[in-house]
């Protein structure tokens, strides 16, 4: 019985000791793999663009929270290039029929250059990304 009490007490003490060590460990931010301010800005721009320009019908409501995901990000000589993919659902209300659910997948490419933000949608943009539209965001 003394042996069980000792092992239980020792196990508890070691658990507390290791938990304290693990809890106090600071994990540095991933500077290269984490999102930067440009990516966060572009995600916000994309959410607003989808609400204003993609889902435009009065009888449609976005079902989910919009969560654009960064697929690729690259610093270039002419600015920061970011590829986003946003998946979401929309409910289209009908008066004389059941509501309809529509799934969207929007792929967009942004080039943030100095004070101008360019947006291209669809397949991989060909040529100069500045051929897309300019967005104020």
Q: What span, in angstroms and rounded, lies between the C-alpha atoms of 104 and 88?
A: 5
Residue 16 is assigned to a structural domain of this protein: no
| Domain encompassing residue 83 | 59-135
pLDDT in tens, 72-119: 999 988 899 999 999 999 999 988 889 899 999 999 999 998 789 999
Is the per-residue pLDDT at 43 higher than 70? yes
Instruction: List the Cα angle 38/44/100 in 5-degree steps.
Output: 145
| Percent of the chain at pLDDT exceeding 90 | 46
Give the pLDDT confidence score for residue 12 in this predicted structure.
42
Residue 104 is assigned to a structural domain of this protein: yes
Q: How many domains does the chain have?
A: 1
Let me know if 48 is exposed, middle or buried by CB neighbors in 10 A (0-12, 13-18, 19+).
middle
Residue 68: pLDDT band with limits 50, 70, 90: very high
Q: In whole angstroms, how large is the CA radius of gyration of the chain?
A: 25
Residue 52 is assigned to a structural domain of this protein: no
Residue 2 is assigned to a structural domain of this protein: no
Segment holding 7, helix H or strand E: helix 2-23
């Amino acid at each position: 019985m003394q042996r069980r009490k000792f092992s239980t007490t020792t196990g508890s003490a070691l658990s507390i000791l290791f938990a304290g060590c693990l809890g106090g460990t600071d994990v540095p931010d991933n500077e290269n793999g984490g999102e930067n301010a440009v990516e966060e800005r572009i995600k916000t721009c994309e959410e607003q663009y989808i609400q204003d320009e993609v889902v435009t019908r009065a009888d449609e409501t976005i079902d989910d929270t919009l969560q654009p995901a960064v697929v690729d990000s690259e610093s270039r000589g002419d600015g920061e290039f970011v590829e986003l993919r946003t998946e979401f659902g929309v409910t289209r209300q009908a008066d004389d029929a059941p509501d309809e659910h529509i799934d969207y997948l929007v792929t967009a490419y942004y080039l943030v250059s100095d004070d101008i933000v360019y947006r291209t949608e669809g397949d991989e943009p060909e040529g100069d990304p500045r051929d897309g539209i300019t967005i104020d965001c």
